[in-house]
Amino acid sequence: MSFQFKVLKEINEANNKARLGIIKTTHGIVETPVFMPVGTQATIKGILPKEIDELGFSIILSNAYHLFLRPGHQLIRECGGLHKFMGWDKAILTDSGGFQVFSLGRINKINDDGVTFQSYIDGSTHFINPEKVMEIQMALGSDIAMVFDQCTPYPSNKYETQLAAERTYSWAKECQKYHNRKDQTLFAITQGGLFHDIRKENCLKLIELDFPGYALGGLSVGEPKPLMYEILDHIVPLLPAGKPRYLMGVGAPESIIEGVTRGIDMFDCVLPTRNGRNGCLFTGNGKISITNARYKEELGPVDQNCHCYTCQNFSCAYLRHLYLAKEMLGPILGTIHNLHFMKQLMENIREAILEDKLESFKRDFYNNYLVQEETT
């Protein structure tokens, strides 16, 4: 197996459990902590693959559920696999689609065997179970695949959450049985909502199955952030120290910093690219809405300290004009800027860990960064 994970440095303080590491995949090395841009349908919207590469990203995420529905995993396999299909020669992680099955599809039936659901595209009926999810992801040929899990919404009662956690464990065992692609690594997903006892039980049972990596699912689904951090405090210390820890669906800069200090290695989210397309841009002082009237005659860049292509070449006034005129260049430039911000954030975090300065970095970040979004 080509997958390897090595912890290069680990901090063991009361309020800081951050660590540096490297993940070796078939398609290259990934430095951790890492943020993975999301290319749900085999594309990161509004930006070329070569631009993602030039920005410095070594791994991206795509979604098995969406690619199963369109264009179909068999077609992608015939085209040489997902890397060749989308023109990306670095690492790819594919989510199993468990979250999307429950959040996007009109579910007809769910039981211990799997899920029957209707496509959000054309209403056609499909059945997905652990065997099918492994078939899809092995056909895609991603470097890291995820088990099929049942994600509960927020809020959920304890009975529903327990049932979903039990199914997630059972399906994880099934996924292990059917997964046999040697150049692809399979990660487990822990579930349990906001119930500490369910989370702990599910986590410990999955650890016994000895997966190469472990993700925390079912968070960042609408719950207050302090409750998410509480779960991380409770569960992350239980996870194997020598394996990657992945917090799914989290991409707010402040949440990434909080996750890193709790020992998380991997993050993904559509937030930076979605915000970029909608004119919500990250800066060192917080998020701004570029369509706000205050930027109408602003001749400076979005962020004076940013070295991205957007900030080095264009003014806020020009960007605002593009968004209001609905020119496609606006969302493209906004996406480039937000992804550069995320790449720089992760580089700064890794450097701070290496130099034992993460606490001061975190303090400075909060002193400058306004967490609340600016109103328009």
Whether residue 374 has pLDDT greater than 90: no
In our burial notation (b when 16+ CB lie closer than 10 A, e otherwise), range 233-249 reads ebbbeebeeebbbbbbb
Whether 68 maps to a domain, the answer reads yes
Averaged pLDDT score across all residues of the chain: 95
| Tally of domains within the chain | 2
89 part of a folded domain: yes
- Looking at the structure, do residues 114 and 140 belong to the same domain, yes or no? yes
Please report, for residues 43, 244, 245, 258, 279, the alpha-carbon distance to residue 11 in angstroms, rounded to integers and kept in the order given.
Answer: 36, 15, 15, 14, 37
Q: Does residue 1 have a pLDDT over 60? A: no
Q: What token pair was written down for 334?
A: 């906004």
Question: Strand 4-10 and strand 106-111: pairing?
Answer: unpaired
Do 75 and 201 have their domain in common?
Answer: yes
What span, in angstroms and rounded, lies between the C-alpha atoms of 129 and 127? 7
Do 112 and 162 fall within a single domain? yes
The encoded tokens of residue 164 equal 């979903």
Are 262 and 348 part of one and the same domain? no
The CATH number that applies at residue 171 is 3.20.20.105
Instruction: Name the token pair of 190.
Output: 């822990």
Return the pLDDT at 213: 98
| Residues 172 and 242 grouped into a single domain | yes
Which of 230, 247, 269 terminates a domain? The answer is: 269
pLDDT of residue 372: 55
* Residue 373 within a domain: no
6 domain residue, yes or no: no
Residue 325 falls within a domain, yes or no?
yes
Token pair recorded at residue 361: 């970095």
- pLDDT attached to residue 376: 28
Catalytic pick among 95, 143, 149, 303: 95
Same domain, 336 and 299: yes
240, 299: one domain: no
**Residue 183 in domain:** yes
Is residue 53 among the annotated active site residues? no
Cβ atoms within 10 Å, residue 7 = 15
Answer whether 83's CB lies under 8 Å from 27's CB.
yes
Residue 355 belongs to domain spanning:
276-368
Domain assignment present for residue 257? The answer is yes
pLDDT in tens, 59-118: 999 999 999 999 999 999 999 999 999 999 999 999 998 888 777 766 778 899 999 988
Which of 269, 287, 312 terminates a domain? The answer is 269
Q: 24 lies in a domain?
A: no
User: Three-state SS string across the chain, please?
Assistant: CCCEEEEEEECCECCECCEEEEEEECCEEEEECEEEEECCCCCCCCCCHHHHHHHCCCEEEEEHHHHHHCCCHHHHHHCCCHHHHHCCCCEEEEECCHHHHHHCCEEEEEECCEEEEECCCCCCEEEECHHHHHHHHHHHCCCEEECCCCCCCCCCCHHHHHHHHHHHHHHHHHHHHHCCCCCCEEEEEECCCCCHHHHHHHHHHHHHCCCCCEEECCCCCCCCHHHHHHHHHHHHHHCCCCCCEEECCCCCHHHHHHHHHCCCCEEEECHHHHHHHCCEEEECCEEEECCCHHHCCCCCCCCCCCCCHHHHHCCHHHHHHHHHCCCCHHHHHHHHHHHHHHHHHHHHHHHHHHCCCHHHHHHHHHHHCECCCCCC
- Where a domain ends, among 269, 304, 339? 269
Q: Are residues 254 and 158 in the same domain?
A: yes
Whether the pLDDT of residue 119 is over 50: the answer is yes
Read off the pLDDT of each residue in 275-292 and give the average, rounded to a whole number: 97
The pLDDT of residue 373:
42
Do 182 and 285 lie in a common domain?
no
254 and 290 inside one domain: no
Percent of the chain with pLDDT over 90: 92
User: In the annotation, is 183 catalytic?
Assistant: no
In this prediction, residues 343-372 reach a mean pLDDT of 94
Average confidence (pLDDT) over 223-245 = 98
Q: 3-class secondary structure for 105-171?
A: CEEEEEECCEEEEECCCCCCEEEECHHHHHHHHHHHCCCEEECCCCCCCCCCCHHHHHHHHHHHHHH
Give the active site residue among 143, 149, 265, 268.
Answer: 268
Residue (of 271, 293, 190) closest to 232 by Cα position? 190
Domain shared by 255 and 280, yes or no: no
Overall average pLDDT of the 36-58 stretch: 97
Q: How many CB atoms lie within 10 A of CB 358?
A: 22
Count Cα atoms within 13 angstroms, Cβ side, for 74: 1
Sorting pLDDT into bands at 50, 70 and 90, what band is 167?
very high
Q: Which pLDDT does position 2 carry in this prediction?
A: 82
Statement to judge: residues 265 and 292 lie in one domain: no
